[in-house]
Structure 1
Amino acid sequence: MSRIFLVRHGPTHAKSMVGWSDIPADLSDTAALARLSDFLPENAVVISSDLCRAVDTASAIQGRRTRLPHDPDLREIHFGDWELKRFAEAEAMDPARIRAFWETPGDSTPPNGESWNQVCARVDTAVDRVMAAHADRDVIVVAHFGAILTQIARAENLDGSAAFSHKIDNLSVTTLLTQPTWSAQQINHNP
């Protein structure tokens, strides 16, 4: 049985859409990080997105686990021109477009960004790659809200709208089984 432990990076405290911007995480809650590390399997390999909030979170929970190179395909949704804007600011730019992106995700894109379907394809490819390379191991993936939602959607056969209904807290764990078929074991667990 192969398991993926999807960990959302530590909080950034940003109040805007943070996608590919390299904003650091607040990792000052060392007790929460220790609980998280203790909860995760010791024999797992650890991989993260290449953004510092994920990289630094992965380093904080790595322990003696094997660390894999960072993977840019595990990044958050690329918000394009909406990057670092609050919802109201992006809505003022193009109200119909932002509502379509969040309410009926699929092929709608932020200007110069990527759609839900593009995010799913990118993250699925990265997860498949790491799972194939480490088929007999548990895998810890330290990533982002959107990237984690893509894998929940995959495991539960959800469309984007249903996937976005899930809450994913910072430093939470979502555990998926990949064999014999994909399924969610737990979502948004806070150890």
Structure 2
Amino acid sequence: MSRFYWVRHGPTHAKSMVGWSDLPADLSDDAQIARLSAHLPGDALVISSDLIRARATADALNGPRTRLPDDPNLREIHFGDWELQVFDKIPDQEHLRAFWENPGDVRPPGGESWHEVSNRVSAGAARLLAAHPGRDIIAVAHFGAILTQVQQALEVTAYEAFAHRIDNLSVTELHWQGNRWHAQAINHLP
């Protein structure tokens, strides 16, 4: 069995759609970081997306753990032309609603669809499983990336996966057993 501890990066405090923009995380709450680090297995491998908010969060949690190279496959949804825009300021509200209410093949202009995000993140997770069978892995990633894995573990639609909260510095624990994922905890705040 392999256990993945998906950790959402520290908060950026942005009030817009943040996908591939490289905004830093606020990691000033030392007590919260310490609680989170203590909750995670000490012998786990640590990996993160290559965006600074995830990298810095992974580095803050790392301690004595082995740090793997950053993986761009664990990035957030690529929002394309919607990047850093406030939801209600995006001109094509119908298209925006379709992206969130009917996730699948709908993509932001210049961005990627839910299916594309899911395939990208799932490929990254599969490579980690193959390279490190039976290991505990702490993957510091993003809201959308983590939800793709929740969807897979729960075997629900993307729309149903969106009903789950994934708070900053939360842990979503998924176990790979046999040939499928099992959700042990979603959005746990240590």
TM-score band (shorter)? over 0.9
TM-score by length of 1: 0.98
1:12 maps to 12
For 1:1-191, what aligned pairs fall within 5 Å after superposition? 1-90=1-90, 93-180=91-178, 181-191=180-190
The SS at the match of 1:155 is helix
Partner of 1:184, secondary structure, is strand
Distance 1:79 1:44 in 2: 31
CA–CA distance in 1 between the matches of 2:7 and 2:156? 20
Count of matched residue positions in the alignment of Structure 1 and Structure 2 = 189
Residue 99 of structure 1: CA displacement? 0.5
Q: CA RMSD in A?
A: 0.6
- Identity, in percent, stands at 63
Aligned residue for 1:178, secondary structure, equals strand
SS of the residue corresponding to residue 177 of structure 2 reads coil
Cα deviation, residue 160, structure 1: 1.1
CA distance in 1, matches of 2:70, 2:46: 9
Q: CA deviation at 1:86?
A: 0.5
Aligned residue for 1:81, secondary structure, equals helix
| TM-score, with length taken from structure 2 | 0.98
Task: Show structure 2 runs of 5+ residues with no match.
Answer: none
Q: Which amino acid aligns with 2:177?
A: Q
Deviations 1:46-99 (A, max 9, x none): 000000000000000001000000000100000000000010111xx2121101
2:174 is paired with a residue of what secondary structure?
A: strand
3-state DSSP of counterpart to 1:161: helix
Rounded Cα–Cα distance in structure 2 between residues aligned with 1:131 and 1:44? 13
